[in-house]
Chains A and B, each alone.
Chain A
Amino acid sequence: MAQQDKRKELKVSAIENGTVIDHITAQSVFQVINILNLDNIPNQIMVGTNLESKKLGKKGVIKVSNKYFESEEINKIALVAPTATLIVIKDYTVVYKAKVEIPDHINKIAKCINPNCITNNERITTKFTVIDKEDLRLLCHYCEKVTKKENIKFL
């Protein structure tokens, strides 16, 4: 038992400095990589998917060395992987650990589904109110149309 705990501990803190995104639902792992643009940064990245998880059945983990995410990026993670846990590691030690949270308002990061929305026609920062956090639905501040989870595109 003690051995297992130790190994678990190692899994999480196996990077010296950086961020671990844990408890991602397995099917969202590559989407998270995508929205965070992780395929275009020089940092060391370890990705695990279809790992066993008591809570999720199958889960994914992404570990990024020497990278700390901005709140906008964390909001993006929350939108595609609401079950995720964010773990910040400094000098092999966990300095922050919390579940991501879907915010009440989302600015900049998502695109409005409505092609006739002014935000898709002029250079305007998008703004949304999250009207449903369970079954993600975003209400556009400008055109007042709802963008559903399956239609969200990130900017």
Chain B
Amino acid sequence: MKNKSLVSINDINKKDFETILNLAEKFEANPTSKILENNVVATLFFEPSTRTRLSFESAASRLGAKIIGFTDAATSSVKKGETLKDTILTVSNYSDIIVMRHPKEGSARYASEVSPVPILNAGDGANQHPTQCLLDLYSIRKTQKKLDNLEVAFVGDLKYGRTVHSLVTALTNYNTTFHLVSPEELKLPSSVKRHIKEKNLVYHQYTELDEVIPKVDILYMTRIQQERFADPLEYERVKNAYILRNEMLEDSKKNLRVLHPLPRVNEITEDVDNNPKAYYFQQAQNGVYVRQALLATILGKNIKN
């Protein structure tokens, strides 16, 4: 992966996942290591995403890198009508790697084709967000001590949730059984199901959350957004159907962990937070280690031990 862009989770294979996760483990044990002291990391956020940007900047800082960039297209030359290509070519003169978030799907792929320095995709519209996917894999492996043969439930907006699409695709490498819980309107798209079918894996679809919980090792919750519904009455009908409350976890497996890409609105009630099975805040913390691992790997720097 050295000197290569990471645009889509489909660009890397199972072996790459393991390389990244193993290195992330080392950073978790020893988060500060100034191996990127002589590097400049650009973070170009063409749309704001405070959480992802801070996580990347934290990762880069802990590795000693200098950080340049912008946090919003409104404050950059994009507002003056500069093309994406021109922005990328210019910034590539100033940095060794470009971390970018952009509202248009495919923007990161395009940037990787014009950029002389590697591009690390931090989200392109509703398409890909590979670092989120890797931190999800890291969190699953860490809590379950394995990635193979797990029962994983995805709950909520499976149609538009890009983190769901990437993670489902990645998990097809690990003989996962999928439990897909969503309203009819927000079912997993066929383009993603295609990956499950190609590997001949088992998936079940549900519209009710309760029956799934006792069966699974991982409960991956997502937010259902009102703007996804053409009919506001439909939203009212389904919005409370996919809320996780603490008492619902009573009959769950001991090793069950609840994940959520955050931000959460109301789909997990606060009484779940103190349940040891709630893992979403640690999950976010894992993002820093995974991003450290990616920056180090792509820039070709290794840590001792």
A residues neighboring B (CB under 8 Å): 112, 114, 116-119, 121-124, 139-146
Q: Which of B85, B102, B105, B107 has the most CB of A within 10 A?
A: B105
What residues on A are CB-neighbors of B109 within 8 Å?
118, 141-142
Partner of A146 from B104, B125, B128, B191 at Cβ < 8 Å: B191
* B110 touching A116, Cβ below 8 Å: no
Q: Which A residue sits closest to B165, measured CB to CB? A: A144
* B103 touching A116, Cβ below 8 Å: yes
Query: Can you name 16 A-B residue pairings with CB atoms under 8 Å?
Result: A112-B106, A116-B103, A116-B105, A118-B102, A118-B106, A118-B124, A121-B104, A122-B83, A122-B85, A123-B83, A139-B191, A141-B106, A143-B104, A143-B125, A144-B106, A144-B128
* B191 touching A117, Cβ below 8 Å: no
Partner of B110 from A114, A122, A145, A146 at Cβ < 8 Å: A122
Q: Is the interface of A mostly helix, strand, loop or mixed?
A: loop
The CA-CA distance from A123 to B114 in the complex, in Å, is 13
Total contacting residues, chain B, CB less than 8 A: 19
Partner of A118 from B10, B84, B128 at Cβ < 8 Å: B84
Count how many pairs of residues, one from A and one from B, have CB atoms less than 8 Å apart in the complex.
Answer: 55
Partner of B105 from A114, A122, A123, A146 at Cβ < 8 Å: A114
What residues on A are CB-neighbors of B106 within 8 Å?
112, 117-119, 140-144
Distance from B164 Cβ to chain A, minimum over Cβ atoms (Å): 14
What residues on A are CB-neighbors of B127 within 8 Å?
143-145
Partner of B104 from A116, A139, A144 at Cβ < 8 Å: A116
* A116 touching B191, Cβ below 8 Å: no
In the complex, per-residue mask of B1-36: 1 if CB is within 8 Å of any chain A CB, else 0 = 000000010100000000000000000000000000
Tell me if B216 is interfacial: C-beta within 8 Å of chain A. no
Tell me if B40 is interfacial: C-beta within 8 Å of chain A. no
In the complex, per-residue mask of B133-172: 1 if CB is within 8 Å of any chain A CB, else 0 = 0000000000000000000000000000000000000000
* A117 touching B104, Cβ below 8 Å: yes
What residues on B are CB-neighbors of A146 within 8 Å?
191
What residues on B are CB-neighbors of A122 within 8 Å?
83-85, 104, 110
Q: Which A residue sits closest to B103, measured CB to CB? A: A116
What residues on B are CB-neighbors of A142 within 8 Å?
105-107, 109-110
The CA-CA distance from A143 to B104 in the complex, in Å, is 8
Q: Could you list 19 further interchain pairs (A-B, Cβ under 8 angstroms) beyond the known A122-B104, A144-B106? A: A114-B105, A116-B103, A116-B105, A116-B126, A118-B84, A118-B104, A118-B106, A118-B107, A118-B124, A119-B106, A119-B110, A122-B83, A141-B109, A142-B106, A143-B104, A143-B105, A143-B106, A145-B127, A146-B191
